[in-house]
Amino acid sequence: MKKALKIIGISLLIIFLLLLAIPFVFQSKIKDIVKQTINNNLNAHVEFSDVNLSFIKSFPQAQVDVNDLVITNFEPFKDEKLATAKSISLNMSIKELFKKASEGPIVINEIYLDEALVILKTNKFGDTNFDIAKKSEETTTEAPQDTTKGFSLDVKDYAITNSALTYLDESSNTTFYITELNHSGKGTFSGDVSELDTSTSARVSFSMDSTEYLSNNDIKLDALIDLDLTNSKYTFKENKAYINQLPLEFQGYVQLLDNGQEVDITFKNPGSDFKDFLAVVPKEYSKNIENVETSGNFKINGMVKGLVSEKTIPQLNINVLSNNASFKYPDLPKRVQDISINVAIKNNTGNVDDTYVNISTLNFKIDQDMFKSSATLKNLTTNMLVNANIDGVLNLSNLTKAYPIELEKELSGILKGKLHTAFDMNAIETNAYERIKNDGSVSVTDFVFSSEDIVNPIHIKKADMTFNPGTVSLNHFEAKTGSSDLNAKGSIKNLLGFLLSDKNLQGNFNVDSNMFKVSDFMVESDTAEAKNNKTSSDEESLKIPAFLDCTLYADAKHVVYDNLDLKNVKGTLVIKDQQATLSNLTSNIFDGQLAVNGNVSTKNDTPTFDLNLGADNFDISKSFKDLDLLQALAPIAKVLQGKLNSTINLKGNLDEEFSPDLASISGDAFAELLTSDINTEDSKLLSSLNGALGFVDFNKLNLKDLKTKLNFNNGNVDIKPFNIKYEDIDIQVSGAHNFNKTMNYGVVFNVPAKYLGSDINRLIGKINDPEVNKIAIPVTANITGTFTNPSIKTDLSSSVTTLTKKLIDIEKQKLLNQGSNAIKDLLGGISNNNNSQTQNQTTSDTTKTNSTNNNNAVQQGIKNVLGGLLNKKNNSKKEDSIN
């Protein structure tokens, strides 16, 4: 017994080892079969990481696994992926591996496809990326003469799990998505007539020409299908499908023909409960409908019959009907009642353009508010024709009380409308207003609106609109947001184009406001309240909405921007292409008037501005205290008291708070001081100059009628040279500073000599010449550092030394002139005395005595003159300095 068991054990071990080893022998053959099959049948590039053969996983069957399959297209979809699959598993009998083509098709018991992604595409030229199968003659010609020739499959069982399919048709602007696809089937495909039992679940989305018909709807299908492979006819029997939770029973067939597919299918919902209607709505919106209380009926039935080809579609007759229905969610207070639905989708010709939707009735009631509507939609695929009527009242706050809608902000307000409209979509897109027929009115009261484009909710107290052909008249609009109020009247040119297509909202409005705070429409990132109110993302800056194309004529009593209070703001604002253009905007501010022209743009990631500002009779101290821009342009001006006229042209970037980014701005400015006093105590710079230059009292500077011009760029401000006057001292100022308050200025004082100290004044007194009092010398002060910590260097000492030398030279020249005149007088006196002695030999003793005294006086005068000259030459030189 033990020997028998040992033999059996050894035999089993040998068999197990053979089962492990044999696949390695056939591994290369399997790879060759897969590669040759692909190359012989597909015009595409195919890759896979590996092909494995196992006799153990599905013993006694063989299992072939293809891993990481990727199929990539050739032209005209070069390098685009057609399909990928994580794994493909084939289960077959071991003998099928050795079967020749003459022995019939290879029978595969099971095929399992996991995590497949298939992307089917048709471009605008009609080319398809999935037409990659080689023609039969190509296959015959190119296939090698081996066991793979005539390769075919006979599948008994298959499954597709965790997969997805995408279909994109550029020519018709159609998209079709299937996600979370799980599909399985059982059957035999080798016979002429066979039966396939399938089960499918997936989520489906479908849109055509920008209209979404299905949005992530759950689809389930259990179908038993007869396969007539000889006639390519597939008949559905005992079939049941679910759209979300709506059950549908259907029957009929699809047959493949040379010119298309013949379709003949009918369907209906098996029950008649109105709950079936709620089941059509995606679960994300309808929630759990199991416990919803309903009354009334709901029926849907339809027929699809005809040829699907390039030129035709099947005839359609689909009807949805419900009468006197109602529903109430158990955890919501309101009931929706008196529901009537009568909708038909029809096509009686097979021409796609003849498809139309007739909404005869779509009515409902919440509390005492009745809402009625009807519409017809024709020519759906080309230029859709719309004819609609709306008549009713809707309390918006009741929507969330009757239906489980999840909103970020509570909805409120009363909507009343009685409106008839008729138009075609081409008229909307081309603004052909003569083909747009509107008649009626719509009003909204106490409506609260929130959006990603605004920060604070807007409370519309009242709005009345009258619909006219081509335009909508805004008769009254009264709204409030934060502490701001708005009142408007005007006209809207293409409201339907904005609502139904991608057209911009055009209009002209007169807007009045008692208070308009810019902060009510913006956010301060460091305040918790602003963060809670903000509905746009943190990463994005606020934008001017791209859909706005309108002109506003504004008149606001107060506009508050940051710390500025602008009064009596009037002007024109044009909004287009995410740019706001200001024209002739005027305002009272800083006890003067401001005029603004220019634009602000948010089209790029960084908002920009380009503005021309005109300041008329501004109060200098107020304006330079409250405006960062003016402080940056002229920091010293904050110590001035008086009035200012100025024009400023500037452009640059705006930061996240819509304030100018000073480092980015460039432009120029011109300023004129009308009246001005100076308070040097408020300026470290002026007080330092007072200490360095004792001959000027900066508190007494006369700045009236001062005019100056400056340029700025990249954070630098260049001051053009300008002149001011202090008493009889002329002063010229020039230089530059940065917005970070560092500076490099030169101030030249043309200083009369009399201001330069007592030594200078004594020299002037000695010279005793009125012309000397007019002498002035330039004294230069070089100013660097910052406005709060200035560094001042002057050439005052050298200037005084130079002046002293000049005055000494003048005094010398004057004394020389005096000496020359004295000698002339002396010589003239001697000559006269000699003549007198010759002519008067008999003069008296008194006359002799006088002559002697005159000679002594002349000699003393010469002595004084010469001595003075000599003494001056010997005097030591002194240099005057004033600190």
Domain boundary among 669, 697, 721: 721
Q: Residue 438 carries which DSSP code?
A: E
Pick the residue with more confidence: 519 or 121? 121
Q: Which of 202-211, 272-281, 423-432, 854-863 has the lowest mean pLDDT?
A: 854-863
pLDDT of residue 809: 76
Pick the residue with more confidence: 190 or 535? 190
Q: What is the mean pLDDT of residues 271-299?
A: 82
Give me the DSSP letters along 647-699: EEEEEEEB-TTS-B-GGG-EEEEEEEEEEEEE-GGG-HHHHHHHHH-TT--GG
Q: What is the mean pLDDT of residues 434-441?
A: 85
Asked, for residue 628, whether it belongs to a domain, the answer is yes
Residue 168 CA to its chain's centroid (Å) = 29
Beta-bridged to residue 112, according to DSSP, are 89, 159
Q: What is the pLDDT of residues 442-466, one digit of tens each?
A: 999 998 877 665 677 888 899 999 9
pLDDT surpassing 50 at residue 467: yes
Q: Structure pTM?
A: 0.58
pLDDT of residue 408: 67
Asked, for residue 674, whether it belongs to a domain, the answer is yes
Q: What is the mean pLDDT of residues 842-869?
A: 40
pLDDT of residue 305: 93
Q: Smallest Cα–Cα separation from 735: which of 717, 715, 714?
A: 717
Q: Which of 189-193, 672-676, 783-787 has the lowest mean pLDDT?
A: 189-193
pLDDT of residue 798: 80
H or E segment at 661? Answer: none
Backbone angles phi, psi at 817, to 5 degrees: -65, -40
pLDDT of residue 77: 87
Q: Which of 328-342, 487-501, 617-631, 817-831 has the lowest mean pLDDT?
A: 817-831
Domain boundary among 668, 695, 721: 721
Token representation of residue 801: 């030394």
pLDDT surpassing 90 at residue 373: yes
Pick the residue with more confidence: 353 or 535? 353
H or E segment at 401? Answer: helix 397-402
Highest mean pLDDT among 189-193, 356-360, 466-470: 356-360
pLDDT band at 587 (very low <50, low <70, confident <90, very high): very high
Tell me how far apart the alpha carbons of residues 691 and 685 are, in angstroms, rounded to a whole number: 10
Q: Which of 4-8, 403-407, 442-446 has the lowest mean pLDDT?
A: 4-8
Beta-bridged to residue 262, according to DSSP, are 255, 307
Domain boundary among 691, 721, 751: 721
Tell me how far apart the alpha carbons of residues 46 and 600 are, in angstroms, rounded to a whole number: 54
Beta-bridged to residue 782, according to DSSP, are 746, 793
Q: What is the mean pLDDT of residues 35-57?
A: 71
Tell me how far apart the alpha carbons of residues 320 and 305 are, in angstroms, rounded to a whole number: 18
pLDDT band at 333 (very low <50, low <70, confident <90, very high): very high
Asked, for residue 210, whether it belongs to a domain, the answer is no
**Average pLDDT taken over every residue of the chain:** 77
**Which amino acid is located at 871 in the chain?**
N
Q: What is the pLDDT of residues 211-229, one digit of tens each?
A: 666 777 888 888 888 888 7
Q: 149: exposed, middle or buried (C-beta count within 10 Å: 0-12, 13-18, 19+)?
A: middle
Q: Which of 13-27, 58-72, 769-783, 789-803 has the lowest mean pLDDT?
A: 13-27
pLDDT band at 675 (very low <50, low <70, confident <90, very high): low
Pick the residue with more confidence: 567 or 826? 567
Q: Which of 301-315, 371-385, 570-584, 863-877 has the lowest mean pLDDT?
A: 863-877
Please give the tally of structural domains in the chain: 2
pLDDT surpassing 90 at residue 335: yes
pLDDT of residue 850: 41
pLDDT band at 505 (very low <50, low <70, confident <90, very high): confident
Q: What is the mean pLDDT of residues 570-591?
A: 90
Q: Is 405 left (phi over 0), alpha (psi -120 to 50) or beta?
A: beta
Spatial contact of 168 and 133, defined as CB atoms under 8 Å apart: no
pLDDT band at 417 (very low <50, low <70, confident <90, very high): very high
Asked, for residue 680, whether it belongs to a domain, the answer is yes
pLDDT of residue 322: 92
pLDDT surpassing 50 at residue 536: no
Q: At 506, is the secondary structure helix, strand, or coil?
A: strand
Q: What is the pLDDT of residues 243-276, one digit of tens each?
A: 877 888 889 999 988 888 899 999 998 877 888 8
Highest mean pLDDT among 401-410, 525-534, 852-861: 401-410
pLDDT of residue 140: 43
Q: Which of 80-89, 567-576, 803-812 has the lowest mean pLDDT?
A: 803-812
CA distances from 612 to 193, 364, 632, 660 (A): 84, 56, 17, 14
pLDDT of residue 279: 78
pLDDT band at 535 (very low <50, low <70, confident <90, very high): very low
pLDDT of residue 25: 46
Spatial contact of 629 and 637, defined as CB atoms under 8 Å apart: no
Token representation of residue 794: 């002057």
Q: At 202, is the secondary structure helix, strand, or coil?
A: strand
Cα-Cα-Cα-Cα dihedral sign, residues 567, 572, 575, 580 = negative
Tell me how far apart the alpha carbons of residues 517 and 523 are, in angstroms, rounded to a whole number: 12
Beta-bridged to residue 186, according to DSSP, are 157, 197
pLDDT band at 860 (very low <50, low <70, confident <90, very high): very low
Asked, for residue 396, whether it belongs to a domain, the answer is no
Q: What is the mean pLDDT of residues 76-98?
A: 80
Residues of the domain holding 558 = 482-721
Q: Smallest Cα–Cα separation from 442: which of 476, 469, 412?
A: 476
pLDDT of residue 2: 46
pLDDT of residue 729: 83
Q: What is the pLDDT of residues 99-119, one digit of tens each?
A: 665 666 667 778 888 998 989
Asked, for residue 495, whether it belongs to a domain, the answer is yes
Q: Is 505 left (phi over 0), alpha (psi -120 to 50) or beta?
A: beta
pLDDT surpassing 60 at residue 147: no
Q: Is 598 left (phi over 0), alpha (psi -120 to 50) or beta?
A: left
Asked, for residue 563, whether it belongs to a domain, the answer is yes
Pick the residue with more confidence: 863 or 520? 520
Beta-bridged to residue 321, according to DSSP, are 299, 342
Q: Smallest Cα–Cα separation from 879: which of 810, 802, 768?
A: 802
